[in-house]
Amino acid sequence: MSNDQPTPGERPEDDPFLKRPHEPQEPQQPTPPPSAGSPYGSEPPPPEGPPPGGPPPGGPPPGPPPGSPYDNAPPPPPPYGSQPYGGGGGYGGADPLAGMPPLADSGKRIFARIIDWLLVTIPLAIIGIPFDVYDRATDNTDDFGDAISATSTGSGLVFQLISIVAYVAYDTVMTAKKGQTFGKKWLKLRVAMLNDGSTPPTNASLIRAIVLWVPALVCCACLWPLLLLILILVDKPYKQGLHDKAAKTVVVSVPQ
């Protein structure tokens, strides 16, 4: 065990009672308060790139293609007959009258029908001579039943069938071909489908001709044409007779 004593006036360095000189401490910087409006402290710096409001990198944003309906005026309506009247109109849809030519004048329709009637009736009158049609028409009969039986048997029935076929075939073929009989062509009229303005197909033309001619040739020679005329005059807005309604057609004026 060492008996060395420290020199008087000196203390060992590990003396716990040794007072060391005071070392100055750096003042602590106050923590800055969070930025206003952000509950989470300071916001991260903005990403590198152009300032807000400038064009994005890679060119301008894609816009509507040229010719888009968002930056140009709508195109003019298509010419008559190339597109549907109202874009798929017809019964229950948009107004089919939108974009169609004016409806035919009722007076012109009457004259056109008279022309067509004469064009078929005159050849039939010549054909009827061998069938003794005119002799039976002038014969005096005892009652109305004898007159009916004279035209419903033998040659009278054959001639009636020929007449029905002639009128119906004439109207069907001419309407399905260009929408015009000779009478309508001369008076600048045309039959068109109500839904799209196209030329009526064969089935629609046949239905129209049957409703137009058969009742008048079978039983109602005077009453049926009068009924069709009244319906054309009072029907709104398409001026359709029963034959037009059955075939879903209208009669319009041909553009000049």
Token pair listed for 43? 């916001």
Q: How many CB atoms lie within 10 A of CB 196?
A: 17
pLDDT at residue 142 in the model: 47
Q: Where are the beta strands (DSSP E) in the chain?
A: 189-193, 249-253
Token pair listed for 5? 């004593």
Per-residue pLDDT tens listing for the chain (256 residues): 445 555 555 555 555 545 555 555 555 665 655 555 545 555 555 556 555 555 555 555 555 555 555 455 555 555 544 444 544 444 445 566 667 789 999 999 999 999 999 999 999 989 888 777 666 555 554 443 444 444 455 677 888 899 999 999 999 999 999 999 999 999 999 999 998 889 999 999 999 999 999 999 998 888 999 999 999 999 999 999 999 999 999 999 998 6
| DSSP per position, 179-244 | S--HHHHHTTEEEEETTT-PPP-HHHHHHHHHHHHHHHHHT-TTHHHHHHHHHHHH-TTT---HHH
d(CA 178, CA 198): 9
Residue spans per domain, the chain: 106-253
pLDDT at residue 215 in the model: 94
d(CA 169, CA 38): 88
Whole-prediction pTM value?
0.59
